[in-house]
Amino acid sequence: MLEYSMLYPRTTLSRRSISMDGMWKFCTDAKSAGEQEGWNDGIPGNDRIPVPASFQDFYTEKDIREFAGDVWYEKDMFVPGEWERKKIFIRFGAATHRAVVYVNGRRITEHEGGFLPFLADVTDAVRYNAYNKVVVKVNNELTVTNIPCGETHILPDGKKMNRPYFDFFNYAGLQRSVHLVAVPREYIFDFDLQYALSGKNASVHYAVKTTGEHAVELSLLDQTGKEVATAKGKNGTLEVENARLWRVHDAYLYRLVVRILDGDAIIDEYEQNIGIRTVEVKGTSILLNGESVYLKGFGKHEDSDIAGRGFNICMMKRDFELMKWIGANSFRTAHYPYSEEIYEMADQEGFLVIDEVAAVGMFESLMNFMEASTGKKTAFFEKETTPILLKAHKRAIEELITRDKNHPCVIAWSLLNEPETTNEAAVPYFKEVFELAHALDVQKRPRTFALIMNSVPGACKCYSFSDIIALNRYYGWYVKGGYEISEAEVLFRKEMDEWKALNLNKPFLFTEYGADTLGMEHKLPSVMWSQEYQEEYLNMTNAVFDSYDFIRGEQIWNFADFQTTEGILRVNGNKKGIFTRQRQPKDAAYLLRKRWKELPPYYKA
């Protein structure tokens, strides 16, 4: 089990949280000499960059944008004297892909996995009523033993180069917020929630984990601040009469307050907004509160100009407004867990989220988007290093579910994206990750993974693990594009007929489909890359979606254009966005808006 709490930092009666975001000192370490040269006591130079942000796009030197190796960050933090009897942590929202943390020259902790939080316990390392020097070494090299997967290549001039097995740029650094946190010595470590509905009433079953033995009390408040339910004990039930349910675009949130008490005195207090809702898969239906829902939305990326993959609060707001405008109700956090603030926004706006762990690149290819439909087999899970990868993957799943399990927006876990599944070696690997996710989630949300185009009936060994069959398909783009689109539709329907013949009695969801389109390119008659062709492509795929009752959702790839590794098949990034990278609509946005606004609320129910 995790040795540190994943609860989001909040200031309450008993807790303090101070943002450490802002300008940090920064330097690259091409020779990996920082530790030998004592950079843990302070890094050289005077360069500064913003945190949170990716480091690559601030500079004009290509050697920094493409840098692979160690980069170092430094910041001074003041620790108030009144915190001296508390536990003191530095909480990193993410450090991509691995980090070592030093405080006042002392090595505190390390973490691998670039898209989930971790805590550095600095209680015994800080000086109170004084400034303390925080130094972080971050490494962005890709390997086959950590997710996302790739390789690091040495060029003839000795420089390192990342070669991802995935089709998005390997942005890195301190890409999410950093907080200095103080909590009582006895504090609320974690809590689990699950829901049951009975007529107009609801039961909220809970289990609270603390670091001590004092009594626990819970209070549930509605949006007016009125207390609607209370309970005592670390395990129990909050009974809510006339419960307001959390629904799509009607996101009623209650405020849950958890306290540790010593008599009437509060030892610790934590609060979080929660939504009362149930999620399950029944036959070919995805049910929210017992009612069928058809998913309309996107695969997305955390990606924007200059900030890269760094959390961008302005872009987050714009993205949600665009998704509401176009009629979407859902998105997948492709291909990694997003910043926690995005889940809080989805909670508030009533969007459904398929939460994906960073298990991408498990199909060994430097151009997986091209080779995904060739029948290529990579025997990816037969490597000698696979046990190391599996351990890292399972750790990431534990961190993901622990972090996100109490968000009402999260309706499913995506445990891999486009892995190699045509080899029997994948089966025991899948078994372990799917069983772990089921064991960790008390709500037993559906689990899925996104099937690469090679993973078709008769070839895929692993689709049976999924509660929702999620397909990434590009008929009309990577397969039979352009004037051959009529043949693409024939092949598309042939595959769907093969899935139908299996009679799996499970919902199918398209987690990727799309066509690269340049925002200013028009051509009549159409050619690939033109806006006219993107619309032709969508008309074809939409017709297929509407032809099969077991298809219960469409999440197009991608919400917006995004940065990728440079190459002859990418014009400064992936251009499959329905919106440009600057979040302006392409013509296809209006086509999707018309379709999604006109689909009935319970389509195919």
418 flagged as catalytic: yes
Distance, in Å, from the CA atom of 539 to the CA atom of 347, rounded to the nearest integer, reads 32
Supply the DSSP string of 435-498, one letter for each residue.
Answer: HHHHHH-TT---EEEEEPTT--TTT-S-GGG-SSEEEE--BTTTBS-GGGHHHHHHHHHHHHHH
* Contact between residue 245 and residue 350 where contact means Cβ atoms under 8 Å apart: no
Distance, in Å, from the CA atom of 239 to the CA atom of 554, rounded to the nearest integer, reads 36
* Contact between residue 407 and residue 439 where contact means Cβ atoms under 8 Å apart: no
The catalytic residue among 364, 398, 418, 420 is: 418
Distance, in Å, from the CA atom of 61 to the CA atom of 586, rounded to the nearest integer, reads 32
By the 10 Å C-beta count (0-12 exposed, 13-18 middle, 19+ buried), 514 is classed as: buried
> Which residue shows structure tokens 């989220």?
353
Distance set, CA 367 to CA 189, 370, 582 (Å): 43, 6, 26
420 flagged as catalytic: no
User: Of 511, 593, 168, 97, whose CA–CA distance to 368 is shortest?
Assistant: 168
Residue 131 DSSP SS3: strand
Q: Which residues pair with 136 in a beta bridge?
A: 73, 101
Distance, in Å, from the CA atom of 443 to the CA atom of 128, rounded to the nearest integer, reads 42
Distance, in Å, from the CA atom of 305 to the CA atom of 66, rounded to the nearest integer, reads 16
User: Of 170, 162, 142, whose CA–CA distance to 308 is shortest?
Assistant: 170
Residue 385 DSSP SS3: coil
Length of the chain: 605
Supply the DSSP string of 234-262, one letter for each residue.
Answer: SEEEEEETTPPPEETTEE--EEEEEEEEE
Distance, in Å, from the CA atom of 532 to the CA atom of 519, rounded to the nearest integer, reads 11
Distance, in Å, from the CA atom of 321 to the CA atom of 491, rounded to the nearest integer, reads 36
Question: How many other β-carbons are positioned within 10 Å of the β-carbon of residue 536?
Answer: 18
Distance, in Å, from the CA atom of 381 to the CA atom of 424, rounded to the nearest integer, reads 9
By the 10 Å C-beta count (0-12 exposed, 13-18 middle, 19+ buried), 522 is classed as: exposed
All residues at 6 or more sequence positions from 405 whose CB lies less than 8 Å from its CB, including other chains: 192, 193, 440, 441, 442, 443
The catalytic residue among 364, 512, 535, 554 is: 512
φ/ψ (deg, to 5) at 420? -70, 120
499 sits in which H/E element: helix 485-502
Gyration radius of the chain's alpha carbons: 24
Catalytically active residues, by annotation: 418, 512
